[in-house]
C-alpha cells in the first residue's frame, strides 16, 4: 500500500475507534478538540486524494447529501409488529401456546422496548450498505444517507462479522438531546416538538442529511434477521452484535420462567426513569433460534416474541391554581399548579395546559381533581377532570385577556391556538428573552455575560434592549449581585469584543422570528448589508433561495417597527457589524492556504478565470504546469492527455469542478 493510502487508512481506523468508544461505549478516549483535528486532517487528505474515496469513511458522517424522494425498498425479511401483553395471565397464556408447538425447555431473552422508529440495516463485507425504515412492514424508505450521520451506527464493523446480513434496531432520541433541540426551537419562536419518538422518526425523513447530522440521534440494535450465521440463541446474537461494534444495551437478561420474566418487568417498570431514553415496555423473546423458527409467525407478529407494555402512568391530584407564562416570543402558556404528587419516579408540581382551547375542551377549573399522565412527553399533561369530585361552587375558567407581566391586551391570530402579548418592546420576559438570545453562543457569543445577569440588568433598569448593552459601564454593573471587579471587567470586555462578530451572526442575533442560523446566512450572503435587507420588499425576499412567505413576512414586519430601526441605528453607531466586511465581500479566506493548484480543461459552473481567481482569493496558488509540488489538479472536461499522463506518473490527484467548489463552502 502506498504511504498516503496507509496514512488515510490509519486515520480512519483511529477515528472509528474513538467514535465507537464515545458513542457506543459511552467512554471518551480523546478530547473533542483532538478528534476534530484528526478529522480535519483526514478530510484534507481525502480531498487531495479522491482516488481513495470511501463512502463509509468517518468523514462521511457530517452529511450533505440531499434526498428529494426516498426510494422504496422491499424488505427481504418482513418487518413484523409485536403482540402485546399486559398481565401475568397474558404471559402465561402465551407460554402455553408456545409449549404446544415446541418440545423441550423454553428460555427467554428479556429486552427493553425502546420507543423510537424501527430501522433495518444491511451490511456487506463489514460496511453499511443500506438503511430502510419499517414503512408498512413489507416495504420502507431507503434512508441510508440520513442514517449514516448517526454516530452510533457503525459504518465499518470490527471482529468476525458475517459477510452479509441484516440487523434491526430502533432509532431513538435521548431525552437530553430532545430537550436541547426544543430549547433552541423556542428561542426561534418555533413550536417545540411534542415527544422524542415522533421527532426521531421525523428526522429520518428530512431531505438534508446535514440537518440529520445535527440531531443527537442514536441507534439501539436488537435483532439479527439473517439465517445461517452460526448463532443459536437470541442472547448470543446480542453479544455478537456488540462485538461487531453495534450499540446493544446491556440491560438484556435471560429468564428461565415467566416468573423470572416478571421480575425483569417489575424491575424496569420502576427503574426505567433512570434511563437516558424513553422505553414503553419489555420485549420477551424465545431464546433458542431453532425454536423460534419452529414457532414462526402469525399474519401480524412473530409467535416467538411478546411485548409487555408498562402500565400507563397516571395519578390524580388537585389542581390548585392556573397561572400564565409569557415566553420570549410573547406566547402565553397556561400552567396547572398541582398539589405535588409522585409520578413516574419524580414529584410533579406543574403541568402544561397548552392553550385556551384545551382548557375549554376539558373544562378544567381551579380546585378540580385532575388526572395527570406522563406519556412520551417530558412535561406531564392533564388528561381530564374527575367530575365526581367537583365542588358545587366551582366556576368555569375565564382565560386571561391581558398579559400577566405588562397588562397589555392579548391577541390571538386567525388559525393559531396560542394567545400572544403584542407588547414586543415593553414586556419584561420578552425583553429578557430577546437579549438572552442576542448574547447566546451561536449569536454574539458574549463572554462573561449569562442569562441570569441579563435578567438582573433588565430588572434593575440598566438595559431595555440589546443595543443598551454597548453603553454599560463597569461602575454600573459592579453593584449587581455576585459581581466582582474581575467579572465586571470580563463582562464589559466581552461586550466590546462582540463588535467583531460577522454580520450573518449579528443578523441571527437580532432575534427576528423564523430567522435561524441558516436563514440568516442566506440573507446576509444575498443582501450583504442590513440596509439592503431593510430596503427589500416582501416579494423580493421570497425570491431569495429558500426564503418562504412566512419568513419574508416576519422580516418585513420586524423592520416596519420604528423601535427596531432605532435599535439597529444605535448598534451601527457602536460599531457592530451590520454589513459584510471587505474580506467577506471579496470572498477572501485562507481555506486553500498552502495549496498549489493546476487548472485544466473546460468548466461549466464557473469560467477558467473565475476558477483561478477563486483559488487566489482563498489563499491558494495557481500554477500553470504540473510538477511534483502540485497539490492537486482541478480537472474539467477535455483535459489534455499529456497532462493526464503526467499527473498519473507523479501521483497527483485530479478533482472535479464540483468537488473543488464544495471545498470553498
Q: One symbol per residue from 378 to 407: x for binding Zn ion (CB under 5 A), - otherwise; what is it?
A: -------------------------x-xx-
Q: Does 141 bind ligand AMP (CB under 6 A)?
A: no
Nearest to Zn ion of 282, 463 (CB atom): 463
Among ligand AMP, Zn ion, none, partner that 146 touches (CB below 5 to 8 angstroms by kind): none
Q: Whole-angstrom Cα distance, residue 236 to residue 173? A: 27
Q: Which does 427 bind (CB under 5 to 8 A by kind): ligand AMP, Zn ion, none?
A: Zn ion
Nearest approach, Cβ of residue 310 and ligand AMP (Å): 12
Q: Is residue 459 classed as helix, strand or coil in its secondary structure? A: helix
Choose between 225 and 465: whose C-beta lies nearer to ligand AMP.
225
d(CA 480, CA 482): 6
Of residues 231 and 533, the one with the C-beta less far from ligand AMP:
231
Task: Compute φ and ψ for 295, nearest 5 degrees.
Answer: -75, -40
Do the Cβ atoms of 592 and 620 come closer than 8 Å?
yes
**Grid coordinates of 178:** 430532545
Whose grid coordinates read 473565475?
Answer: 610
- The answer to the question of residue 328 lying near ligand AMP (CB under 6 A) is no
Q: How many CB atoms lie within 10 A of CB 158?
A: 14
Choose between 224 and 427: whose C-beta lies nearer to Zn ion: 427
**Contacting residue, 18, 61, 113, 215, with ligand AMP by CB under 6 A:** 113
503: CB partners within 8 A, 6+ apart:
524, 528, 529, 530, 577, 578, 579, 580, 581, 584
Cα gap 606→169, rounded to integer Å:
45
What residues between 292 and 311 interact with ligand AMP by CB under 6 A?
307
Partner that binds at residue 547, options Zn ion, ligand AMP, none, CB closer than 5 to 8 Å by kind: none
Distance CA 483, CA 487 (A): 6
CA distance 226 to 156: 18
To 10 degrees, what angle do helices 562-574 and 549-560 make?
A: 80
Closest residue to ligand AMP, Cβ-based? 118
> Which CB sits closer to ligand AMP, 201 or 209?
201
User: Residue 423 is placed in which grid cell?
Assistant: 407588547
Q: 42, 102, 283, 469: which one contacts ligand AMP (CB under 6 A)? A: 283
- Is residue 114 within the footprint of ligand AMP (CB under 6 A)? yes
Q: Which stretch binds ligand AMP (CB under 6 A): 107-115, 391-399, 406-414, 590-598?
A: 107-115
427 lies in the binding site for Zn ion (CB under 5 A)? yes
Pairing of β 253-255 and β 218-224: unpaired
- State how far Cα 294 lies from the chain centre: 42
8, 45, 47, 82: which one contacts ligand AMP (CB under 6 A)?
A: 82
Compute the least distance from the CB of residue 211 to ligand AMP, in Å. 23
572 tagged catalytic = no
Question: In whole angstroms, how close is the CB of 568 to Zn ion at the nearest point?
Answer: 23
C-alpha distances in Å from residue 641, one per residue of 9, 265, 296, 367, 599: 31, 70, 62, 86, 14
- The owner of cell 425576499 is 541
- DSSP 3-state of 108: strand
The footprint of ligand AMP on residues 198-227 (CB under 6 A) is 222-223
Piece of the chain touching ligand AMP by CB under 6 A; list 112-120, 195-203, 350-358, 560-568: 112-120
Q: Largest Cα–Cα distance in the chain?
A: 97
Asked whether 217 and 114 are in contact (CB, 8 A), the reply is: no
Which of 40, 99, 113, 522 is catalytic? The answer is 113
Q: By CB under 6 A, is residue 118 in contact with ligand AMP?
A: yes
C-alpha cell at 523: 440573507
Q: Which residues participate in catalysis according to the annotation?
A: 113
Give residues in contact with Zn ion (CB under 5 A): 403, 405-406, 408, 421, 423, 427
Give residues in contact with ligand AMP (CB under 6 A): 81-82, 111, 113-114, 118, 134, 170, 222-223, 283, 307
Amino acid at each position: 500500500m502506498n504511504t498516503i493510502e496507509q496514512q488515510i487508512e490509519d486515520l480512519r481506523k483511529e477515528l472509528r475507534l474513538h467514535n465507537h468508544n464515545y458513542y457506543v461505549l459511552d467512554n471518551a478516549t480523546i478530547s473533542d478538540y483532538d478528534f476534530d483535528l484528526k478529522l480535519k486532517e483526514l478530510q484534507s487528505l481525502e480531498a487531495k486524494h479522491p482516488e481513495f474515496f470511501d463512502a463509509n469513511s468517518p468523514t462521511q458522517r457530517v452529511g450533505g447529501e440531499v434526498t428529494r424522494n426516498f426510494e422504496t425498498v422491499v424488505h427481504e425479511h418482513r418487518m413484523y409488529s409485536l403482540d402485546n401483553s399486559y398481565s401475568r395471565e397474558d404471559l402465561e397464556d402465551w407460554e402455553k401456546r408456545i409449549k404446544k408447538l415446541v418440545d423441550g425447555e423454553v428460555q427467554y431473552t428479556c429486552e427493553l422496548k425502546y420507543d423510537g422508529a424501527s430501522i433495518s440495516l444491511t451490511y456487506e463485507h463489514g460496511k453499511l450498505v443500506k438503511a430502510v425504515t419499517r414503512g408498512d412492514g413489507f416495504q420502507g424508505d431507503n434512508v441510508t444517507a440520513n442514517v449514516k450521520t448517526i454516530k452510533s451506527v457503525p459504518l465499518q464493523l470490527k471482529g468476525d462479522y458475517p459477510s452479509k446480513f441484516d440487523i434491526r434496531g430502533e432509532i431513538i432520541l435521548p431525552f437530553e438531546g430532545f430537550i436541547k433541540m426544543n430549547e433552541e426551537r423556542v428561542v426561534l419562536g418555533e413550536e417545540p416538538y411534542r415527544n422524542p419518538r415522533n421527532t426521531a422518526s421525523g428526522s429520518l425523513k428530512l431531505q438534508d442529511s446535514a440537518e440529520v447530522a445535527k440531531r443527537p440521534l442514536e441507534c439501539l440494535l436488537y435483532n439479527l434477521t439473517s439465517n445461517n450465521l452460526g448463532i443459536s440463541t437470541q442472547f448470543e446474537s446480542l453479544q455478537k452484535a456488540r462485538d461487531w461494534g453495534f450499540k446493544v444495551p446491556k440491560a438484556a437478561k435471560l429468564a428461565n420462567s415467566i416468573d423470572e420474566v416478571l421480575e425483569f418487568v417489575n424491575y424496569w417498570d420502576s427503574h426505567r426513569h433512570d434511563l437516558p431514553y424513553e422505553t414503553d415496555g419489555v420485549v420477551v423473546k424465545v431464546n433458542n433460534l431453532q425454536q423460534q423458527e419452529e414457532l414462526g409467525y402469525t399474519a401480524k407478529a412473530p409467535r416467538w416474541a411478546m411485548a409487555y407494555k408498562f402500565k400507563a402512568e397516571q395519578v390524580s391530584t388537585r389542581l390548585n391554581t392556573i397561572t400564565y407564562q409569557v415566553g420570549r416570543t410573547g406566547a402565553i402558556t397556561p400552567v396547572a399548579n398541582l398539589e405535588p404528587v409522585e409520578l413516574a419516579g419524580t414529584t410533579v408540581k406543574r403541568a402544561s395546559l397548552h392553550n385556551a382551547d384545551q382548557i375549554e375542551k376539558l373544562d378544567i377549573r381551579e380546585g378540580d381533581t385532575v388526572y395527570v399522565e406522563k406519556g412520551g412527553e417530558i412535561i406531564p399533561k392533564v388528561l381530564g377532570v374527575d367530575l365526581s369530585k367537583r365542588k358545587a361552587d366551582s366556576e368555569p375558567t375565564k382565560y386571561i385577556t391581558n398579559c400577566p407581566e405588562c397588562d397589555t391586551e392579548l391577541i390571538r391570530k386567525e388559525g393559531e391556538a396560542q394567545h400572544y402579548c403584542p407588547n414586543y418592546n415593553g414586556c419584561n420576559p420578552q425583553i429578557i428573552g430577546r437579549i438572552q438570545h442576542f448574547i447566546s453562543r451561536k449569536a454574539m457569543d458574549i463572554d462573561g455575560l449569562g442569562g441570569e445577569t441579563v435578567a438582573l440588568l433588565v430588572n434593575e433598569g440598566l438595559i431595555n434592549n440589546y443595543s443598551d448593552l454597548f453603553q454599560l459601564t463597569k461602575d454600573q454593573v459592579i453593584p449587581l449581585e455576585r459581581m466582582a471587579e474581575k467579572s465586571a471587567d470580563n463582562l464589559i470586555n466581552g461586550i466590546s469584543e462582540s463588535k467583531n462578530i460577522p454580520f450573518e451572526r449579528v443578523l441571527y442575533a437580532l432575534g427576528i422570528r423564523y430567522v435561524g442560523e441558516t436563514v440568516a446566512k442566506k440573507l446576509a450572503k444575498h443582501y450583504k448589508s442590513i440596509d439592503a435587507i431593510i430596503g427589500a420588499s416582501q416579494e423580493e425576499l421570497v425570491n431569495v433561495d429558500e426564503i418562504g412567505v412566512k419568513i419574508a413576512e416576519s422580516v418585513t414586519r420586524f423592520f416596519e417597527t420604528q423601535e427596531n430601526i432605532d435599535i439597529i441605528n444605535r448598534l451601527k453607531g457602536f460599531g457592530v457589524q451590520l454589513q459584510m466586511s471587505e474580506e467577506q465581500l471579496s470572498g477572501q479566506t485562507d481555506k486553500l492556504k498552502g495549496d498549489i493548484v493546476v487548472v485544466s480543461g473546460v468548466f461549466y459552473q464557473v469560467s477558467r478565470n473565475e476558477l483561478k481567481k477563486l483559488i487566489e482569493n482563498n489563499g491558494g496558488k495557481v500554477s500553470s504546469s504540473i510538477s511534483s509540488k502540485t497539490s492537486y489538479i482541478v480537472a474539467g472536461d477535455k483535459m489534455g492527455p499529456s497532462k493526464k499522463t503526467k499527473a498519473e506518473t507523479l501521483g497527483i490527484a485530479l478533482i472535479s469542478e464540483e468537488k473543488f467548489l464544495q471545498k470553498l463552502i
